[in-house]
Amino acid sequence: MKTISRWIAVLLIGAATGCGATGTPEARIAALAGATQDAPATAPPAILPAPRIPPTPAQPDLIRRVNVGIESPYTLGDPIPLTADILAEFRMEQGRTKFDRYLDVLVYRGDALNPVDDAKIKVLGAMREMEHGSFRLGASPEGGGHYTLSMPTIMPGQWFIDITVTSGGKETTIQLMVELFD
């Protein structure tokens, strides 16, 4: 008996609020909007989603140099000796997406006035705690000892970036640990 009473109450409430309107779709919209037959109802304006802008990281990347397994602070742009007379500077900035990074490498002999234009630079990146997302790429020479690369670091976390510079028959690998934050 209670079930029948509930159904009757639902029907009465629906009829009182216009939910039971019959007829054309326009009449049902008018009934729901509380409009009369004289004043046609209009649909509310559509709310469009805001354009998607890639969010910026909450804090800057943490970058450390790894030498013989020991991490130490590294400031981007500080020169690192590769051989007795060749130095390299590394700079990094956010790429096209939230986690991609552009890597700039400047290679020079003694000082920045003597660029090394014949270097070959290979970059191997891998996440510390994951078995996916690794990449192996070569940097493009831009001239004047400047080499560029877009690194597909696809998610936040700790990435080991091995940068191998070959010049004058000598090969040196520098390892950076880059922690990307969400």
- pLDDT tens-digit readout, 144-170: 999 999 999 888 888 999 999 999 889
For residue 101, is pLDDT > 60? Answer: yes
Q: Which domain holds residue 172?
A: 62-180
8 Å CB contact between 116 and 169: no
Question: Could you say which of 28, 49, 70 is where a domain stops?
Answer: 49
pLDDT at residue number 135: 92
- CA 175 to CA 167: how far, in whole Å? 17
For residue 13, is pLDDT > 60? Answer: no
Residue 42 lies in a domain: yes
How many domains, in total, are found in the chain? 2
Structure tokens belonging to residue 26 = 């326009």
Residue 39 lies in a domain: yes
Q: What's the whole-number mean pLDDT along residues 82-97?
A: 89
CATH label of the domain that carries residue 136? 2.60.40.10
8 Å CB contact between 99 and 154: yes
| pLDDT category of residue 67 using cuts at 50, 70 and 90 | confident
Strands 70-73 and 120-127: unpaired
Residue 54 lies in a domain: no
pLDDT at residue number 155: 86
Whether residues 106 and 157 share a domain: the answer is yes
**CA 113 vs CA 62, 106, 145: distances in Å:** 29, 11, 10
For residue 53, is pLDDT > 70? Answer: no
- CA 91 to CA 51: how far, in whole Å? 30
Q: What's the whole-number mean pLDDT along residues 2-29?
A: 54
Per residue in 1-39, is it b (16+ CB within 10 Å) or e — as a string? eeeeeeeeeeeeeeeeeeeebeeeeebbebbeeebeeee
